Amino acid sequence: MDQPNILEAQKLTKVYEDGLCALDHVSFSVKAGEIFCLLGDNGAGKTTAINLFLGFLNPTEGTPFINGIDVTKDPLAAKQHVAYLSDVVMLYPNFTARQNLDFFARLGGRHNLKRDDYYNALRQVGLQEKAFEQRLKGFSKGMRQKVGLAIAIVKEAPAIILDEPTSGLDPKAANEFLAILHQLRAQGRAILISTHDIFRAKEISDTVGIMSEGKLLAVKTKAELEHENLEKLYLDYIQGKVAA
């Protein structure tokens, strides 16, 4: 059966106050059980698109939907259906791993979780047990990313959005991170990722959207990419050698 669209961008457009058009009529959707990767150089508009989904910015034109909810009309309801990880993970350094989970789960409307639920989520993402009750301030970036993913797990949000999640992770941490993403996909989450890394994009995604200067130039499925050289395709698109 066809999966429902959990994230949907309809002609998303953002012109910043200074007149810069950071996003120009960008449309795409992410289904349950799909990893969709926005691939583009710095300044392509990836973070702008993500910030529109999270309601951090208002679109100049177009609409972001999360689980069918128009984010511009009902941002609070929409936020209950999404878990978000930025490249600088926004967690509390003075809280322990478990306290961070508890805090964000409650913020996301889940008030009935027990210590074991938090521990199970932290185990699922592979955080070492001795770190469960330690404050985050001594954690590596890889460990903080794991706590961020554990929050996505306990929040049971159908959508997960990650902005440049693997930047700054060492190869081992990045691999562990990708394995967890694949587990979340297997649970039927819709996952939207941004990256400037072509190899990661190809490795992680079911679908890659190639972005440049605010435009979504192409959307390619994994099957399509098996027969194409993504690096060449990407460069051809951003250099305007292929008509978008």
Ligand X SMILES: Nc1ncnc2c1ncn2[C@@H]1O[C@H](COP(=O)(O)OP(=O)(O)O)[C@@H](O)[C@H]1O
20 lines the binding site for ligand X (CB under 6 A)? yes
Exposed e or buried b for every residue in 200-212, given b needs 16+ CB within 10 A? bbbebbbbbbbbb
Of 47 and 166, nearer to Mg ion (C-beta) is: 47
> Smallest gap, in angstroms, from Cβ of residue 200 to ligand X?
15
Of 16 and 92, nearer to ligand X (C-beta) is: 16
Site residue total, ligand X (CB under 6 A): 12
Q: Which segment (42-50, 63-71, 87-95, 137-145) binds ligand X by CB under 6 A?
A: 42-50
* Residues with Cβ within 8 Å of residue 8, at least 6 apart in sequence: 28, 29, 30, 64, 65
166 lines the binding site for ligand X (CB under 6 A)? no
Q: Where are the alpha helices (DSSP H) in the chain?
A: 46-53, 75-79, 97-107, 115-124, 141-155, 171-186, 198-204, 222-226, 230-238
Of 40 and 142, nearer to Mg ion (C-beta) is: 40
145 close to 85: Cβ distance less than 8 angstroms: yes
40 lines the binding site for ligand X (CB under 6 A)? yes
Could you give the 3-state DSSP secondary structure of residue 118? helix
45 lines the binding site for ligand X (CB under 6 A)? yes
Q: Which segment (4-12, 18-26, 179-187, 198-206) binds ligand X by CB under 6 A?
A: 18-26
What are phi and psi for residue 44, nearest 5 degrees?
-70, -25
Could you give the 3-state DSSP secondary structure of residue 244? coil
Q: Which residue's beta carbon is nearest to the bound Mg ion?
A: 47
- Rounded CA gap, 206 and 215, in Å? 20
Say which DSSP state 138 is in: G
Of 45 and 64, nearer to ligand X (C-beta) is: 45
47 lines the binding site for ligand X (CB under 6 A)? yes
19 lines the binding site for ligand X (CB under 6 A)? no
Q: Which segment (41-49, 70-78, 149-157, 174-182) binds ligand X by CB under 6 A?
A: 41-49
> Smallest gap, in angstroms, from Cβ of residue 6 to ligand X?
21
Binder of residue 131, out of Mg ion, ligand X, none (CB less than 5 to 8 A by kind): none
44 lines the binding site for ligand X (CB under 6 A)? yes
What are phi and psi for residue 56, nearest 5 degrees?
-75, -25
Residues that bind ligand X (CB under 6 A): 16, 18, 20, 22, 40, 42-48
